[in-house]
Amino acid sequence: MEKQQCLLNDIVYDILSRMPVKSLIRFRCVSKSFDSTITDPKFIATHLNQAISLSNNNNITHNGYLLYTPHSSSPDIEEELHTVVHNTDHTPTEVHAVVYNTDHSLTEVSSFEIPYVLGGTNIVAFCNGLFCLTNNSENNLADQSLYLWNPSIRMFKMVPTQFPDRLPVSRVTFGFAHQNNDFKILRLVCFASGGAEAQVYTLSTNSWKKYEISLEFLNGLSIHYICSSPCLFFNGALHSMAYDNNQEFILSFDVDDGRVRGIMPPQNYVSGCSEFLAVFKGSLALIVFTDEVIGENDVCDIWVMKEYGVSESWTKKSVPMEINANLIGCSVNGELLIEQTSHSGVHIISFDSESLNEENLGIPQTRDVIYTADFVESLVLLNGADIKNQAED
């Protein structure tokens, strides 16, 4: 009888671990046993791993997801900017999640509101059900606020400020350390006097840790400047473009072991008007909008590192493309997703580097837009601050 009960409990546990988040929140009211199970950290981790596995299996049916916040409908740009920064009317900002289908159509799967208690923030990244938001004070860590937000369960957490020093330049990204099933916020800080350090926030411990980036780990390179283009979280590491005097390189910081390395660009690499790190068909890539011209078109160089960390494995492909653009990311099948500015406004474009086909995805004017290969719901932050309660305070 006892074995049968254990088997039944295991079956129920397995079924619950595969249920949608919304259902699990309701099931907490069924019994104390259900509530205890659903709120248990081990169950939350199991549920997340199931969701990630299911999402990975579904990737063959689509090209990933785009998450965006549309601009205010206000015709007055100054009024819109004031509302975004100060959020004076307590109007929530919506985040739309759309599937980028293989036929280039978009299907909205979710939309969330960023309530006014998190107003004036911008999206840093999305990872495994959590958004990382910031007030964008990257040049002054004393004024920088960071939040983690789980829209599926309407919970958020303000990340503690550990390092109040006023430092000149920092870059922030957000990712998931698979080695220990934990979320990490990574902040790369560059000192005015030269040198840099990595600051890592770990969700499970709710604490920050500093890592000095020393020259011995960078083969004698020093860091004088961190590029303003977004950081990339790939292969368990933060990646950022950095400069040592006139030498440009990719700075890599491993979130699991704190290991720092400098990845050199290709020997014949020439920087351009703008450059972005990306994941191209599963490999680290450097996308460069150059000053070169092919016919009447500008040139985009796509550098792909076939073997991670091996500088000799860089390969190059040059394609004609307008350079007045920002790279959002690369889709699962290798299309470049671009925020392109023209006389008619800003448009989200997909560009196929093989066929050279370009298509406007029809997304409205956006304030923030990011790409993610996976979009999952999770129970992480279940014991965080409830947005509804915060709004009523």
Pairing of the two strands 274-280 and 122-127: unpaired
pLDDT of residue 376: 86
- Name, in order, each residue with C-beta under 8 angstroms of 297's C-beta and a sequence gap of 6 or more: 320, 321, 322
Query: Between 55 and 393, where is the model more confident?
Result: 55
- Out of 143-147, 215-219, 356-360, pick the least confident: 215-219
Per-residue pLDDT at 284 exceeds 90? yes
- What gap in Å lies between CA 392 and CA 374, rounded to an integer? 33
Dihedral class, residue 253 (left if φ above 0, else alpha if ψ from -120 to 50, else beta): beta
Query: Between 29 and 388, where is the model more confident?
Result: 29
Question: To the nearest 10°, the Cα dihedral for 272, 278, 281, 285?
Answer: 50
Per-residue pLDDT at 366 exceeds 50? yes
* pLDDT, mean of residues 164-173: 64
pLDDT of residue 207: 92
Mean pLDDT value across the chain: 79
Question: Please, which pLDDT band fits residue 281 given cuts at 50, 70 and 90?
Answer: very high
Question: Please, which pLDDT band fits residue 74 given cuts at 50, 70 and 90?
Answer: very low
Share of the chain above pLDDT 70, in %: 77
Per-residue pLDDT at 139 exceeds 70? no
Q: What is the pLDDT of residues 372-382, one digit of tens each?
A: 888 888 999 88
pTM check: above 0.85: no
- Kindly give the residue spans of alpha helices, DSSP state H, lying in the chain: 2-17, 21-27, 32-38, 41-58, 77-86, 387-392
- At residue 337, the 3 state secondary structure works out as strand
Query: Between 374 and 166, where is the model more confident?
Result: 374
| DSSP string of 198-210, one letter each residue | EEEEETTTTEEEE
pLDDT of residue 259: 82
- Out of 83-92, 121-130, 166-175, 247-256, pick the least confident: 83-92
pLDDT of residue 364: 78
- Out of 1-5, 82-86, 148-152, pick the least confident: 82-86
* pLDDT, mean of residues 368-375: 86
* pLDDT, mean of residues 250-276: 82
Asked whether 65 and 374 are in contact (CB, 8 A), the reply is: yes
pLDDT of residue 345: 76
Question: Please, which pLDDT band fits residue 307 given cuts at 50, 70 and 90?
Answer: very high
* pLDDT, mean of residues 150-173: 75
> Residue 296 belongs to what H/E stretch?
none
Most confident of 140-144, 199-203, 253-257: 199-203
Most confident of 46-55, 66-75, 253-262, 290-299: 46-55
Other CB atoms closer than 10 Å to residue 198's CB: what's the count?
21
pLDDT of residue 277: 93
- Out of 175-184, 231-240, 265-274, pick the least confident: 265-274
pLDDT of residue 81: 32
Q: What is the pLDDT of residues 179-189, one digit of tens each?
A: 888 899 988 88
* CA nearest neighbour of 261 among 198, 191, 183: 198
Task: Give the start-to-end residue ranges of the domains of the chain.
Answer: 2-39
pLDDT of residue 58: 63
- What gap in Å lies between CA 162 and CA 206, rounded to an integer? 10
Per-residue pLDDT at 138 exceeds 90? no
Query: Between 393 and 44, where is the model more confident?
Result: 44
Per-residue pLDDT at 249 exceeds 70? yes
Q: Exposed (0-12), middle (13-18) or buried (19+): which is 146, by Cβ within 10 Å?
A: buried
* pLDDT, mean of residues 200-227: 78
* CA nearest neighbour of 357 among 64, 106, 103: 103
